[in-house]
Amino acid sequence: MPSPNEILAELKKVKYPGFTRDVVSFGIIKDIEVAYAGVTVIIAAPSAKPEVIHKIAEDVKQAVGAMPGVPKVEVKLERPAADTQARPQPSIARKSLPGVRHIIAVASGKGGVGKSTVAVNLAIAMRGLGWRIGLMDADVYGPSIAMMVGMEAPVSLTQERRIIPLQRFGIKYVSMAMFINDETAVIWRGPMVTKLETEFLFNVEWGELDCLVLDLPPGTGDAQLTITQRVELDGGIVVTTPQEIALIDVKRGAEMFREVRVPVLGVVENMSYYLCLRCSKRHEIFSHGGGARYAAELGVPFLGELPLVRALREGGDSASPLAALNPAHPVSAAFKEIAASVIERLDAPRGQ
Ligand X SMILES: Nc1ncnc2c1ncn2[C@@H]1O[C@H](COP(=O)(O)OP(=O)(O)OP(=O)(O)O)[C@@H](O)[C@H]1O
Residue in the shown chain whose Cβ atom is closest to ligand X: 111
Length of the chain (residues): 352
Among residues 113 and 338, whose Cβ is nearest to ligand X? 113
Under the phi-then-psi rule, with left for phi > 0, alpha for psi from -120 to 50, and beta for the rest, what region is 207?
Answer: left
| 108 forms part of the interface with ligand X (CB under 6 A) | yes
Q: Looking at the chain, which runs of residues are DSSP E strands?
A: 29-35, 38-43, 73-77, 100-107, 133-137, 156-157, 163-164, 166-168, 171-175, 209-215, 235-240, 264-269, 274-276, 281-283, 302-305
Told to check if 29 binds ligand X by CB under 6 A, we report no
- Total chain residues near ligand X (CB under 6 A): 20
Query: Dihedral angle at the C-alpha atoms of 296, 221, 147, 170, nearest 10 degrees?
Result: 60
Task: Tell me if 241 contacts Mg ion by CB under 5 A.
Answer: no
Instruction: In whole angstroms, give the CA distance from residue 298 to residue 291.
Output: 10
The one segment of 6-14, 32-40, 58-66, 302-310 that binds ligand X by CB under 6 A: 302-310
Q: Which of 316, 322, 329, 344 binds ligand X (CB under 6 A)?
A: 316
Nearest residue relative to Mg ion (C-beta): 116
Q: How far is the CB of 9 from Mg ion (least distance, A)?
A: 38
Minimum CB separation of residue 145 from ligand X in Å reads 8
Q: In terms of C-beta density within 10 A (0-12 exposed, 13-18 middle, 19 or more buried), how is residue 337 classed?
A: middle
| 113 interacts with ligand X by CB under 6 A | yes
> Does the protein bind ligand X through residue 221 (CB under 6 A)?
no
Among 109, 128, 134, 218, binds ligand X (CB under 6 A): 218
Cα–Cα dist 260/192, whole Å: 20
Q: Which is nearer to ligand X, 15 or 282 (CB)?
A: 282
Q: Which of 27, 46, 109, 114 binds ligand X (CB under 6 A)?
A: 114
Residue 117 near ligand X by CB under 6 A:
yes
Residues 292 and 276: their CA atoms lie apart, in Å, by: 22
Q: Which of residues 125-184 bind Mg ion (CB under 5 A)?
A: 144
SS3 per-residue string spanning 136-175? EECCCCCCCHHHHHCCCCCCEECCCCCEECEEECCEEEEE
Q: Does 143 bind ligand X (CB under 6 A)?
A: no
What are the residues binding ligand X (CB under 6 A)?
Answer: 108, 111-117, 139, 142, 144, 218, 270-271, 306, 308-309, 312-313, 316
- Chain contacts with Mg ion (rule: CB under 5 A): 115-116, 144
